[in-house]
Amino acid sequence: MADNADRSQIEIERALERSLANCAVDDVVPSAECVECGEAVEAGRAKVLKTNVCAACAHKKERLAKLFAGRR
């Protein structure tokens, strides 16, 4: 017999599944060159992370996102 906690857990799991299904995922084609600066993208990075941005540009982008995150 299911109690309120069981029903709540099921509802939470369903909501999480819906949220994950609605997340936008960019279809990035891995490339050998960074699309932002033209530098070489490491083959392992492009394959594993499915990215077309070099590590330096990704770091710069993340740093800027953190700096301006509170200013929305």
Domain boundaries, given as residue ranges, for the chain:
4-67
Burial 17-54 (b: 16+ CB within 10 A, else e): eeeeeeeeeeeeeeeeebeeeeeebeeebbeeeebbbb
pLDDT tens profile 28-70: 777 789 999 999 998 888 878 888 899 999 999 999 888 887 7
The pLDDT assigned to 71 comes to: 63
Predicted TM-score of the model (pTM): 0.54
Question: What is the four-CA torsion angle of 33, 35, 38, 41, rounded to 10 degrees?
Answer: -40
The pLDDT assigned to 25 comes to: 64
